[in-house]
Structure 1
Amino acid sequence: MDNIKNWSKNELVAYILLYVANADLHETTEEKDFILTKVDKETYAAIHKQFDRDNDYQCIQNIIEGVKSHDYFRDDYAELFADIKLLLYADGEADRMEESTLLFLRKILKED
């Protein structure tokens, strides 16, 4: 699971959503449930293990590397960012740290 270049699109999406969900250092049940609407339980569990091993810098590098190496979104991040916005409100309210993380991801993924 360590080689980002071998990740599927679902694995990458799960990782990104986990990163945002944990921006406030707390992943709620509602956030987990939302992520599970996007990926199966096995993918979620495997990606969560990887996510738990990574520090913040590694998470960002994995996201950048995954997006660039796979070109899954082909410069159209609308679906990904829509999923992130839905995740932000999965537990009823968007936390400031999660909102900031969304803005940060927009910046690093859309600008080289």
Structure 2
Amino acid sequence: MNWSKEEFIAYILLFAANSDFKESNEEKNIIISKVDMKTFQKIYSEFEQDNDYQVIQKIEQGLEHHNFTASQIDDLLLEIKLLLNADHEYNILERNMMLFLKKILK
């Protein structure tokens, strides 16, 4: 996996946005604001082909590869929370995703 940091963040954000099994337009727009459309499409295509196990493996590998600091992880978690609130619905699935990502990222 040779993703840039930008691609890796897009992948995590897509995973989070998909916590309720759909990505709203608001959530997609937030992700696209972080990366260009070509990168979004590339990462989205890959994400769509991955199963949950592969997603978790890629996230763990990306964290290790990019050597995120505690502060960067906190910033990423904040971005994820903002993303999950983008559609003004922070449901139980999204709350559970946030808890899961806190565990895996820290």
Is residue 69 of structure 2 the alignment partner of residue 74 of structure 1? yes
Q: How many residues align?
A: 105
1:76-112 CA distance string (max 9 Å, x none): 21210110011011111112112211111111221xx
Aligned equivalents of 2:54, 2:101: Cα separation in 1: 14
- Structure (1 or 2) with the greater helix fraction: 2
Aligned equivalents of 2:52, 2:94: Cα separation in 1: 14
Structure 2: runs of 5+ lacking an equivalent: none
Percent of pairs identical after alignment? 50
TM-score (structure 2 length as normaliser) = 0.94
Aligned equivalents of 1:36, 1:67: Cα separation in 2: 21
Q: Give 1:13's aligned residue.
A: 9
Q: Please state how far the C-alpha of 1:23 moved relative to its aligned partner.
A: 1.0
Is residue 100 of structure 2 the alignment partner of residue 104 of structure 1? yes
Residue of 50, 56, 59 corresponding to 1:54: 50
Structure 1: runs of 5+ lacking an equivalent: none
TM-score (structure 1 length as normaliser) = 0.89
